């Protein structure tokens, strides 16, 4: 949270950036609530989520993808901060508030994913005891966590008050789709029953669309 705050307020050149404070509050409270839940209910999943980033991945392609998305996430903080500083665009207050609601919804979706699938690692891997999850959100789309991330990223741009932040999200999107396809390729090869699950649940990311 300190690093995220620095990425927001240093480029903005001011602490008078209410969108940044509101975003940090919503993001921080949601992340803390989920962390406390996992500390009490599923410490193994918490360990799997903490060990993340480019260096945690085993496959070269995933190292590249994680590097791109990590830079993209930082950019999604820095760009709206610069927008705040130089006044490139103006997002109405009610849309910024709506953005924080979208962030909360995104975290809620991710929370349900954690409850339904204890093997939701931050890296792409398969555990010996892992089984295909096909109930709950997984009965609607094959990658519900990515679906939740859509709410999070779109919400960030609105919450932080920058239309230019959508350009950063669009630039990130190919890397996110690349990761999704690469993950499916890996699971098809290494997780028993995943091919049958793909045939059962047609939509990858967005219900009734794709």
Average pLDDT over residues 181-185: 92
Residues 6+ apart with CB under 8 A from 13: 85
Q: Which residues contact 22 (CB under 8 A, 6 or more apart)?
A: 96, 97, 100, 159
Domains of the chain: 2-200 (1.20.120.1630)
What's the pLDDT band for 147 if we cut at 50, 70, 90?
very high
Task: Give the 3-state secondary structure of residue 128.
Answer: coil
Q: In Å, how far are 9, 103, 104, 116 from 97, measured between CA atoms?
A: 19, 10, 11, 29
Lowest mean pLDDT, pick from 102-106, 126-130, 164-168, 172-176: 126-130
Only one residue has tokens 């109930």, namely 135
Distance CA 60, CA 127 (A): 20
DSSP category for residue 136: G
Whether the CB-CB separation of 12 and 81 falls below 8 Å is answered with yes
Q: For 40-88, write each residue's pLDDT tens digit.
A: 999 989 888 887 667 767 778 888 888 999 999 999 999 999 999 999 9
Task: Centre a 10 Å sphere on the Cβ of residue 174 and count the other Cβ atoms it contains.
Answer: 11
Highest mean predicted confidence (pLDDT) among 44-48, 154-158, 185-189: 154-158
CA distance 91 to 162: 6
Cα–Cα distance measured from residue 12 to residue 28, given in angstroms and rounded to the nearest whole number:
20
Assess contact for 124 and 69: CB atoms under 8 A: no
Residue 85 and residue 129: Cα distance in Å, rounded?
Answer: 51
């Amino acid at each position: 949270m300190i690093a995220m705050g620095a990425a927001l307020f240093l480029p903005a050149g001011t602490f008078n950036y209410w969108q940044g404070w509101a975003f940090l509050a919503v993001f921080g409270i949601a992340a803390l609530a989920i962390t406390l839940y996992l500390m009490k209910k599923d410490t193994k999943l918490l360990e799997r989520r903490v060990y993340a980033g480019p260096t945690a991945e085993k496959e070269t392609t995933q190292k590249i993808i994680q590097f791109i998305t990590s830079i993209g996430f930082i950019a999604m903080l820095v760009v709206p901060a610069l927008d705040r500083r130089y006044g490139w665009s103006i997002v109405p207050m009610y849309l910024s508030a709506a953005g924080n609601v979208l962030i909360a919804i995104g975290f809620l979706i991710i929370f349900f994913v954690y409850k339904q699938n204890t093997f939701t690692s931050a890296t792409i891997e398969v555990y010996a005891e892992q089984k295909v999850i096909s109930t709950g959100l997984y009965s609607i789309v094959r990658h519900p966590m990515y679906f939740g991330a859509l709410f999070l990223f779109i919400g960030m741009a609105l919450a932080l008050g920058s239309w230019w932040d959508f350009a950063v999200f669009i630039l990130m999107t190919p890397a996110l789709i690349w990761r999704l396809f690469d993950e499916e390729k890996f699971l098809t090869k290494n997780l028993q029953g995943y091919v049958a699950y793909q045939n059962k649940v047609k939509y990858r990311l967005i219900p009734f669309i794709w």
